[in-house]
Structure 1
Amino acid sequence: MEVSTRLKLVREKHALSQRELAKRAGVTNSTISLIEQNRVSPSISSLKKVLDGVPMSLAEFFTFDIAEPVRPSPFFDKEQMPDIGGEGVKLFLIGHGVQNRHITMLREVYEPGADTGAEMLSHVGQEVGTVVRGEIELTVDEQTRVLKAGEGYYFESTLPHRFRNLGKETAEIISASLVSPNAPPSF
């Protein structure tokens, strides 16, 4: 890897602007710019002076593994959505592995007769969703309704709730749960 590319990656890794690195190293802003553009090849002593602004030794500079920052993909294939459901209910988690996630997004598939369990669910946050296929019976607190494709819901997740597929065909829901920024994601 060229000195120009390596210097730029080191500078960015340490969250320094060209101007800030130049100030710390006691060189001009144009010196840093010219090195990073590969328009000037610094002497060892000049490079050492620039690296003192990081601070980093020459040995570290040339041996430190500086991989280009890998940006996580915003897209998820079917294989990247683990099923976190149970018997008769498939809950495909969208965004598995995303750090600091505060939204739990699911593609929920309920086989005929399947439900979320005998006990009502309750957790911190809010829940929203829409039925995209089939019908699903949703109970929230003491209210129950059968939702058909195209219908949706939105409620405080602290209220006891339960989903059941009473129909003869598979039901599918797209849902999201929002938790407080201070609370961990629910899945």
Structure 2
Amino acid sequence: MTSPVSPQNAGDATAVNLGLQLRTARQKSGMTLRELARQLGVSPSFLSQIENGKSQPSVATLYSMAQTLDVSIDHLFEGEEPAGTEDSAEPQPDAEVPAAPHRAAGDASGPVRRSDLGSLERVWDDSGSTGRLSVTSPGNRTRLVMDTGVVWEQLATNTAHQLDFIEIVYPPGSSSTNDERMLRHDGFEYGYLLEGELEVTFGFETFTLHAGEALGLNSSVPHLFRNLGTVPARGIWFVHHDH
């Protein structure tokens, strides 16, 4: 008689499969465990626990790993278990243990580092991504709060993974990243600024976007937004993801 699968067992199976997928992706890239840990700024023992299914990465760490290994999030969550041999370091007692991953980054328990997040693709909960109609209302939308104070709010839930329709708010003095590092990711961004002003750095060009003005940019070019004013900058953004 087959034993029922408990939520805990299901979660363990997901962690093990995710770890196997990550290990295989790393091995295919030719990157050692220590090299990947160095690029991500974490300990090798932490990555070892993830690859062995003993720990689950936070959403920010998972996105950073996927970007570094040049693999899609879809592929990492496929049910097929890849072949691979364990070559990771032994976990240490003081290894970092992150929060369990979740598909709805807006439900995160704390602010998210924008520079760790990369693209918006697969950030939001995709439970309604195939619906024919999406209606959202203030106070009931998924919100993603950055460590810089910048807020993204999801305006439509049925855009699948090709497009994001969001409201952005940059408080006075805020920037896309805390360390002023410019961002780049696949796809295109289209924005219309409703209130305030944003300083936009796009490649080697810097200009000010005023309320009532709109822009479209290739997100693969390094870019950065900053609110140098004294009032919040609020706009409506469309982000189209390249696959």
Shift of 1:147: 1.0
Would you say 1:126 and 2:126 are equivalent positions? Answer: no
Normalising by structure 1, report the TM-score: 0.55
The secondary structure found in structure 1 opposite 2:231 is coil
CA–CA separation in structure 2 for the residues paired with 1:171 and 1:102 = 26
Runs of 4+ with >6 A deviation: none
Shift of 1:72: 5.5
Shift of 1:172: 0.5
Would you say 1:94 and 2:155 are equivalent positions? Answer: yes
- Aligned residue identity for 1:77: S
User: Computing the radius of gyration over CA atoms, which structure comes out larger, 1 or 2?
Assistant: 1
CA–CA separation in structure 2 for the residues paired with 1:168 and 1:142 = 25
CA–CA separation in structure 1 for the residues paired with 2:209 and 2:218 = 18
Q: 1:78 aligns with which of 107, 116, 138?
A: 138
- Aligned residue identity for 1:121: L
Would you say 1:177 and 2:229 are equivalent positions? Answer: no
User: For the Cα contact (< 8 Å) 2:170–2:234, is it kept in 1?
Assistant: yes
**Bigger RCO of structures 1 and 2 (CA < 8 A, at least 6 apart):** 1
Normalising by structure 2, report the TM-score: 0.43
Shift of 1:99: 6.4
Q: Name the Cα RMSD after superposition.
A: 1.9
Partner of 2:223: 161
**1:156–1:90 Cα change, 3 Å:** same
Gaps of 5+ in 1: 1-70
Gaps of 5+ in 2: 1-130
Would you say 1:139 and 2:201 are equivalent positions? Answer: yes
User: For the Cα contact (< 8 Å) 2:156–2:166, is it kept in 1?
Assistant: no
Bigger share in strand: 1
Shift of 1:79: 3.3
Output one character per residue of 1:51-92: Cα deviation in whole Å (capped at 9) or x when no partner.
xxxxxxxxxxxxxxxxxxxx6642111234222131321111
Q: Number of residues paired by the alignment?
A: 111
> Percent identity over the alignment?
28
- Aligned residue identity for 2:235: I
